[in-house]
Every structure is written in structure tokens, then in C-alpha cells.
Chains A and B, each alone.
Chain A
Amino acid sequence: MAATYAPPVQALIDELGRLPGIGPKSAQRIAFHLLKLPTPDAERLATAIVDAKAKVRFCDLCFNVAEDLLCGICADDRRDATVLCVVEEARDIVALEKTGEFRGRYHVLLGAISPIEGIGPEQLKVRELLTRLADASVTEVIVCTNPNVEGEATAMYLARLLKPLGLTVTRLASGLPVGGDLEYADELTLGRALEGRRAMD
């Protein structure tokens, strides 16, 4: 379909359409909503995006969102350095922290293995994980990827990759809502799944 909007409007629609979960129709709807906003409201949104982008970065060690070189968790030396919890996204850390059950550190993969989306192990922070594990302080890796097809495949991949290193690799106990994301699970369920984690074969 040929672009029939003025170039600035079309550019806005195109950018919105690149966001996850936003199709062309939704992009159009949001764009026209934004155009109707009072100017200060629109500016606030634009500033929030630019600010977040400028001030927030990924932690050098674990790829959690951070305001400094290291995120708050990596910088906190009261955290247990022997246990590492591997998650897909930084938002999963928020969900796990809410349980209050975990005192170790994290490693964010920034996704899960999914050939359909062009994501293989090379596109994830797997090499960086191996580098972190090279110094022998970590003894257990808990794989907390999502309980869906891609998360389970990623967990199995990591188990097969890490087992030869002599580490204990564990997976959250079942009982999480199947097919969904970690963030769908309530704190109690997630805490229980963490407590009941099992070694992966």
C-alpha cells in the first residue's frame, strides 16, 4: 500500500510499527492519538524515551538495566556470588526479586533461542555467560527462562552447554503457568518454584 500520509506522520507510524506487538493498524491508531495530544504531553513522552535511552544502559556483567557500569545487584557485594540465575529479560529480574527468595546474582540473555525470529545462541549473551563462569566462584546456575517452547529449548541448550563444566544446573520446579512468561506468575508461585528447583538432566 502506498504511503498516503504526510511524511512526518508516515515516519511516526513506521517507527511505532517497529515496536514489539504493534501491527500496522495499531501503529496508525497510536500515531493519531499522539497527534491529538497537547504538545506538553507529547514532549513528556519524547523526553522520557530520550532520557531512558541516555541514562540507562546494560550492566557490563549481567546485562540487567543499569544506570552505571554495573547494575545495583552486581554492585552489591552482599549478594551470593556462588549462585547465578539466568533469565531472558531484565523484567524477569524484577519478578524474581519480588519473591525475596533469591540472594544470588543474575545473567540476562536478552532473549531466547528462536530460529523463527533469527535468534540463535550467538545472538544471546551466552558467550558472556561462559566468560563469567570461567572463574570458579559460581557453583550453581539456575535457569529461569520462560515456561514456553523457546524458554524450555534455551534451558535445555544451556544445561547441555554447562554440564561439562562441572556446575550444578537447575531449573525452576513446574507449577508455573505453562506457555506464558515468568511475569505472569505471582510472587508466591514463583518463590515456590525457585525453592523447589531441580537439577536438569
Chain B
Amino acid sequence: MIVQRIKLRDFRNYPEATFDLTGGVTAVIGENGQGKTNLAEAMAYLATLGSFRGVTPDALIRVGSEQAVIRADVVHDDGRMLLVEAEINRNGRNRVFVNKQRLVRARDLLGVVRVSVFSPDDLALVKGGPAERRTFLDDALVALAPKHDALQRDVDRILRQRNTLLKQAGGRVSPEVALTLDVWDAKFAETGDELGRVRAALVANLEPALREAYSALADRETPAGATYEPTWRKEGLAAALAASRADDLKRAVTTVGPHRDDLDLLVNAMPARTHASQGEQRTLALAMRMAVHRLVADQVGTPPILVLDDVLSELDAGRARALLGHLPVGQVILTTATALPEHARPDRVLRIAAGCVSGNQ
């Protein structure tokens, strides 16, 4: 699957812009602040219906506008053409149209376009808090199978309901509250156990690819690893919730479950966040993205669109070669502020300045 053309209207800094992309490598060159990352963000929106920069969708609408539109011509491997249009509205629902037909639920778009974004911000995967890593795992799960999105949203919703009930209870448990809390516990346990199970399976599948990617990128033979072993998974979430109920009621918040988990990252058998060098952390973050890209390509059967947002310029020639050499490559969009790195051989070069694009077909 490739995106042949992407048109943006009132998206971030673009009043109106068209990008003609090739099925191979399209390089996008522009000074910082001209909108390179915004293009990457628009591509990623088609895959996740969210921003990879962790902002709410209304931040994607150009200042002073009510609506942003992303319009993409998608060509499937079998030659089928799809026109995907995503509207982001400042007021009212965000809507998605496929071939001019409105999807009843915008989230039915998930799985139509798959995108892997590599960005310098990925360092936060290693240096940032557990939430960054949970998002990393959960995004990977959705890229592998869109049904995981419904599971994650159920877990979030049930958690919010349970936390609200805990606050309303104010520390007191009437028999009425106890019966309702039992129900939310059962629902949270059911969906939370399932999310824990699929995350653990994902990490087990990801680890070999992570090790391989890391050793391909690192100069020295240092082993990298990742483990996901929340303690509640040993006894099951139902038992863990029962054990923490008194505490949860006192604090009016759910203290155990998948929303508190972390993915433990290791370099040389030591925690990467505290013990690895900045260079090792960068390499590990890159290796994590590479591992997901490979896993999705293997399991889905076709590589996601690879968006390398300003990452090649940070790498020396050897690592850049290792990166490109180790990825299953389909369509690539590569953005850079500087001149193109020598090893990048684009099929087309687009230039952007102040939201204007040149070099289209």
C-alpha cells in the first residue's frame, strides 16, 4: 500500500498544500519550522487518527480555522484505489470519508493505512516516563490489529468509570456502592487482563527484532532487551484489584492495572533510562521503532509507509546505512533540513518553504 498524493488544507501551518509522493523514496527538504514534521504528522494521522506529538487533534487545525482536512490517494498492492479524507473539526466530531462515503465510526479507518514514524523525539521512549512506553506498545498493537484499539478504549473508559465511582464513594462503601464497584472491577479485570496478555505477547515477539536492530546499529557488541512483567499479571487483575480495594477507596484512584505498567528497557542488562549513555539511548529508541516496523511488515505482509522525520541527519553514514539496510522498505518519506545525506537516493525531491511545496509532478 502506498499514498500516491496527500493534500492538506488548514492543517498546522499549511493553508493548502499538495505532496506528490513516489512508491519509492521521496525526500522532503526544508529549513526547520517550514512544516516537514507537520507532513509526517498528517501521514501518521491517517494511521492512528491522532498526533504522534501527543497533542489533541484540535492542535492540528491551522490557527484561525475551524477545520483541517487531510486528503490522501491510497493505492493498494492489488491496484485498488482509495480516496481517504479525514476532517478534523474544532467543534463537533472528526469525520472520515473513504471514496466519498462517510464511515459510521471514524476509527474504522484504522488498519487501512499503516505508517511508521521515526523522529528525534523518539528518545523520549527511553528517557521519558512509563506513559511514553505504554503508548509505544499500544500503538504497535493497533498497527498489528485494529481490534486492539477497541480493547484499549474499553480499558480507558472502564478505568475512568471506576475512578469516578471511587471519588463519588468518598472512602465509604455502602452495600450499593460495593455491588457497583464489584461490577467495574470485574469489567476492568476482564479487559485489563486481556490488554496485559496482548502486550506481553507483543514484547515477546518484539524482543528478537529489537536485539538484532540494536546490534546492527551499535558500534560495540552490547546486548539490548525489553521485558514487560507487571506484578499484577502473576495473580491476575481481579485478585490484584481485590487486594488493593481498601487502598483504592482511600486514595480515590485505581492503583493497579495496565494503566500503571512500564516496559523495562535494558542495555547490557542494566536499566537503559538510568544506566545507558545518551548514544546508547538514541540507538535503543531507533531499534525499538525498527523492531515494530519489521514485526508489522512480517505479520501484515506489507511494510508500513516509513516516515523518517529528520532522523538520518543525526546518524553517521554507517548507522544510516544500517538503518535503511535493516528495514523492510516499501514507500519511504524522508525529511531533512540540511542537504540530503549521501546514502539517501531519493526518487523524487520536494522542497518546502513557508508551507509552499515545489517539485511535484
Contacts and interface: CB of A to CB of B under 8 A. Distances in A.
B161 A116 contact: yes
A156 B161 CA distance: 15
B91 interface: yes
B91 A121 contact: no
Interface string A141-182: 000000001101100110011000000000000000011100
A157 B165 CA distance: 14
B157 A160 contact: no
B176 A120 contact: yes
Contacts of B158: 149, 153
Contacts of B356: none
B145 interface: no
Contacts of A115: 161-162, 164-165, 168, 180
B92 A25 contact: yes
A24 B90 CA distance: 12
Interface in B177-194: 179-180, 182-184, 186-187
Contacts of B91: 23-26
Contacts of A184: 104
A148 to B, nearest CB: 8
Q: When A and B form their complex, which 4 residue pairs have the shortest distance between CB atoms, in order from nearest?
A: A25-B91, A115-B164, A115-B165, A149-B157
A121 B176 contact: yes
A114 interface: yes
Given A25-B92, A156-B187, A116 B160 contact: yes
Interface of A: 23-26, 113-116, 120-122, 149-150, 152-153, 156-157, 160-161, 178-180, 184
Contacts of A24: 91
Contacts of A23: 91-92
Nearest to A118: B168
A150 B161 contact: yes
Contacts of A149: 154, 157-158, 161, 187
B161 A114 contact: yes
B150 interface: yes
Given A26-B92, A149-B161, A153-B161, A121 B180 contact: yes
B179 A157 contact: yes
A120 B161 contact: no
A25 to B, nearest CB: 4
A153 B176 contact: no
Contacts of B162: 115
Contacts of A160: 179, 182-183
Nearest to A25: B91
B183 A179 contact: no
7 contacts: A113-B183, A115-B165, A116-B160, A116-B161, A149-B157, A153-B161, A153-B187
A120 B160 contact: no
Interface in B146-174: 150, 153-154, 157-158, 160-162, 164-165, 168
A107 B183 CA distance: 21
Nearest to A157: B183
Contacts of B164: 115-116
A121 B168 CA distance: 14
A165 B33 CA distance: 67
A152 B154 CA distance: 11
Contacts of A116: 160-161, 164
A25 B58 CA distance: 15
Nearest to B162: A115
B162 to A, nearest CB: 8
